[in-house]
Amino acid sequence: MKLSCQKASALVDKKLATNLSFKEWINLKFHLSMCDICALYQKQSKLIEIAIKSRLAESEINSKKNTNGLIKKIQTALIEKK
C-alpha cells in the first residue's frame, strides 16, 4: 500500500502519542525510507517533543520550588503569630 505524505505525517504524529499497529509501522518505515521530506518531518517532530517535555519538566521543578518556598513562608508567618 502506497502511503501519501499526508497520511505518513499523521502516522508520525500518532507514533509520538501512542503505539502504531504493525501494519502502520511497516507502511511508515517504508514511506520514510523513500521520502526525505517526511523523514525530516519525523526528526523535527521528535525534537519538538523533546523540547516541550524538557520545558514542562523545568516548569514542574520550578513550580515545586515555588510551592515549597510558599509553604515555608506560611509556616514562618504562623510561628511568628504565636
Asked if residue 72 has pLDDT above 90, the reply is: no
- The pTM for the full model equals 0.68
As a whole number, mean pLDDT of residues 44-61 equals 83
Rounded alpha-carbon distances, angstroms, from residue 40 to 1, 5, 9, 36, 53: 22, 12, 10, 6, 20
Average pLDDT over residues 58-78: 68
The mean per-residue pLDDT over the stretch 21-36 comes to: 97
- Give the pLDDT band of residue 52 (cuts 50, 70, 90): confident
Domain boundary assignment for the chain: 5-81
Residues 48-67, mean pLDDT to the nearest whole number = 77
Q: 21 phi and psi, to 5 degrees?
A: -70, 165
